[in-house]
């Protein structure tokens, strides 16, 4: 990515500031050039599944966690789009992988029999779990809510990747 920057400095700004702004833009372009400083592939770290993986999957398990089936009332929360690609350790795109996500609703409740959050209430319009099958470019996409903090936990979304019946990765973002 090359950044474009509009000069927002007043005309009487010393030349030093203008120089530093241009140098920062040039550095950003240098470090984002393909192959200039190629990064080694780092595997996503494994993390525990946590205690609230759904113990009973919802009937609707698509990639839009805001609307259940044909409902018209969306889940409560800030809309968030979670997207990316699945790659193997060599960087090759992985097709036909199932990416699963699950998270707490805006009340901190999971769709798990033991996952009641604040005030023991669940947002009945939040799906809480979704899955997506990657295509030839290894891409996945989810529409969900921005995660909320609950108890001592930082806001997070649980993610699992499966190929066939084998779970390849469980992590959080």
Give the CATH number, domain containing residue 156. 2.60.130.10
Task: Check the CA dihedral 134-139-143-146 and report its sign.
Answer: positive
What is the rounded average pLDDT of the residues 97-112? 93
Q: What is the pLDDT of residues 16-68, one digit of tens each?
A: 555 445 444 444 443 444 444 446 788 888 898 888 888 888 889 999 999 99
What is the rounded average pLDDT of the residues 99-106? 95
As a whole number of angstroms, the distance between CA 161 and CA 168 comes to 6
Range of the domain at 168: 79-172
Token pair recorded at residue 2:
């090359």
| 83 and 6 within one domain | no
pLDDT attached to residue 117: 66
* 92 domain-assigned: yes
Active site residues: 110, 150, 153, 156, 158
**Strand order in 98-102's β-sheet?**
129-133, 98-102, 158-163, 166-172
* 44 domain-assigned: no
pTM of the full structure: 0.73
As a whole number of angstroms, the distance between CA 93 and CA 129 comes to 24
């Amino acid at each position: 990515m090359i950044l474009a920057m509009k000069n927002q400095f007043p005309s009487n700004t010393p030349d030093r500031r203008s120089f530093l702004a241009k140098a920062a833009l040039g550095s950003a372009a240098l470090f984002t050039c393909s192959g200039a400083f190629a990064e080694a592939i780092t595997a996503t770290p494994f993390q525990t599944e946590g205690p609230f993986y759904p113990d009973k999957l919802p009937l609707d398990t698509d990639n839009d966690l805001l609307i259940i089936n044909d409902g018209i009332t969306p889940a409560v929360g800030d809309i968030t789009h979670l997207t990316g690609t699945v790659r193997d350790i060599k960087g090759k795109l992985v097709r036909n992988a199932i990416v699963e996500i699950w998270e707490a609703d805006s009340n901190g409740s999971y769709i798990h029999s033991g996952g009641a959050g604040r005030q023991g209430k669940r947002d009945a319009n939040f799906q809480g779990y979704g899955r997506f099958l990657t295509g030839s470019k290894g891409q996945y996409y989810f529409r969900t809510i921005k995660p909320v903090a609950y108890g001592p936990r930082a806001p997070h979304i649980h993610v699992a990747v499966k190929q066939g019946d084998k779970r390849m990765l469980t992590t959080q973002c």
